[in-house]
Structure 1
Amino acid sequence: MEQSKILVVTDTTSGWNEADAQQAGVALVALSVLLDDKEYKDQIEMRANELYAAQAEGKLPTTSQPNPGYLENCMKQWKEAHYDAIIVLPIAAGLSGTYQGFRFAAESLEMDEVHVIETRTLAAPLQDCACCAKKMAEANAPLETILNVLAEKLDDTMTYAIPKDLVQLKRGGRISPAAAAVAGLLKIKPLLKLAEDGSCVDKFGMARTETKLFQMICDDLKEHGVTPETHRLCIPHANSQEAAKRLAEAVRKQVGDFEISEMELPTVLGCHTGDGCLALQTIRKSEWD
């Protein structure tokens, strides 16, 4: 059977920079970070440490979908390469216009070979799916099989986030000043969870202690049947190495002996949650891992 020529694409909300993506054999498109009326390419012209430094100064960086001209230029290059198929794994459509940007560019350039997936997630599951699709393509798996495996993985992932405080959420208008003030006085910490359809990151619970928040996560993992046999876990965080270790220890003790990795929290989340945020994501295993 002749080898199919398949390109796998993701964006910088995967947490990858250009070197990481190149090593994985995956094409990477950068979202934009907007700061002081200037636009920077995420992970290329601005890294996470620069973002948090700006936030510490009281600034309010925001993110946006890839610049349309930049995205169209990428798509034109891929079109000229004559791929049999292009699999695009962008951030959840409910969190960014990136998904629609890819679809619009593909339609405008009449690229029927482009398959833009509504992932409903970001970060570690995007990396996992991109690597899986690349591995399957290299094994010459049929396109339909690749897409089916990705769908199974993406139907079974969850994301939790614990901001260090509510300062950045308050600045970004994600929580009212009054609610932030009350939570601060009562020393209550929020636990956020990405909606199943990927439409928003919403409050999942509140507690005064880290231990209680970790317990909520563990209980929810068990309720959803997440086990070391079916899933791997990833802990994205923003300068929270010690808290990441404590979370991993709690999950292993209360739920099971998971394979757990760590990664830098993607900028698009860091913009809203700020430095010190801790997250946990589930990744569905497959026979191709």
Structure 2
Amino acid sequence: MSPAVIVTDSTATLSEATAAERGIVVVPLQVVIGANVYDEGAEGATPEMVAAALREWTPVSTSRPTPAALAEVYEQAARDGATEVVSVHLSGEMSGTFESAQLAAREASIRVIPVDSRQVGVATGFAVLAASDVLAAGGTADEAAAAARERAAASSSLFYVDTLDYLRRGGRIGAAAAIVGGALSVKPLLQIQDGRVASLEKVRTTARALSRLEELAVQAAGDRQIDLCVAHLASPERAEQLTGRLTERLADNLEGRAVWCAELGAVLGAHVGPGMLAVCVAPRL
């Protein structure tokens, strides 16, 4: 194992193959469906399970990894030969995971650098990969942490939801905003801003919302070199169509790199609901 190791959480949406290839340790968050508790992942809570439960109005909630769980991950890294850990997590405004990392870091036998990405989902994942690239190139743990923060801050997370109800239920958006949205029958476009879900635009139809999401992604890319991900929950056809259009329109920005099209993980899916479509535009460092 490298003297420095990267730890992240399951909401970063890294594939098992990518994490294994790069030596990234992924700690799962939990999903509570009814009375059952599952770790997020292929062997536990899947997006399909969450979407089905939400449609059936089965109670769904999520919980962070405990400080003790993260402390054990850090100690295992130390036993495997690591001398430092860079621990990159989803926004501390949205989850207590970063706080757990901070608490565990204080007791760790090796140096741990907790990083609040101030992002969610794939934007956190791209930040993790930026940190991994720095370590692979011989950089220090501090340089890797700085790269993660820089890429996360430069990334744009834009998304559409069919309804604000799921965000309201999970406390991720105010009840008043959800009620107004429902009353006006608007289709909300949202963004991650300062680590929180924020309103971006409101349009009247789903078709208009998806067209606008595409335009906003193109604007966010500008003339920069980017990595791009389209994510969805239980909406694969919409996601594939958007992926195709953005692949064509942003060909110069991508320089042959494929657009990553994936289903949103179970934890984030629990808060946005079926029909969600998101785009993450991550400028390359």
TM-score, normalised by the number of residues in structure 2 = 0.84
Deviates more, 1:214-223 or 1:236-245: 214-223
Q: How does 1:86-235 map to 2 (within 5 A)?
A: 86-111=85-110, 113-169=111-167, 171-172=169-170, 174=173, 175-176=175-176, 178-179=179-180, 181-183=182-184, 186=185, 188-195=186-193, 197-198=194-195, 200-218=196-214, 220-221=216-217, 224=220, 226-227=221-222, 229-235=224-230
Deviates more, 1:38-47 or 1:271-280: 38-47
Cα deviation 1:25-83 (Å, max 9, x = unaligned) = 21010111123244321114211111112112201211121133322222221232341
Q: Secondary structure, in 3 states, of the residue corresponding to 2:274?
A: coil
Gaps of 5+ in 1: none
Distance 1:154 1:172 in 2: 24
Distance 1:257 1:209 in 2: 30
Give the AA of the match of 2:267: V
Once the two structures are TM-superposed, the CA of residue 277 in structure 1 deviates from its matched residue by 0.9
Question: For the structure 1 residues 23 and 239, does the alpha-carbon distance in structure 2 shift closer, same or farther, using more than 3 Å as the test?
Answer: farther
Distance 1:60 1:257 in 2: 44
Distance 2:128 2:55 in 1: 33
Cα deviation 1:171-220 (Å, max 9, x = unaligned) = 4454457435414xx4x21111111x21x112211112234324544554
Distance 1:61 1:83 in 2: 37
Partner of 1:243: 238
Once the two structures are TM-superposed, the CA of residue 87 in structure 1 deviates from its matched residue by 1.0
* Contact persistence 2:2–2:81 (CA under 8 A): no
Partner of 1:77: 76
Cα deviation 1:212-234 (Å, max 9, x = unaligned) = 3245445545655x235332211
Question: For the structure 1 residues 162 and 92, does the alpha-carbon distance in structure 2 shift closer, same or farther, using more than 3 Å as the test?
Answer: same
Question: For the structure 1 residues 211 and 252, does the alpha-carbon distance in structure 2 shift closer, same or farther, using more than 3 Å as the test?
Answer: farther
Gaps of 5+ in 2: none
- How many residue pairs match? The answer is 277
CA RMSD of aligned residues (A): 2.7
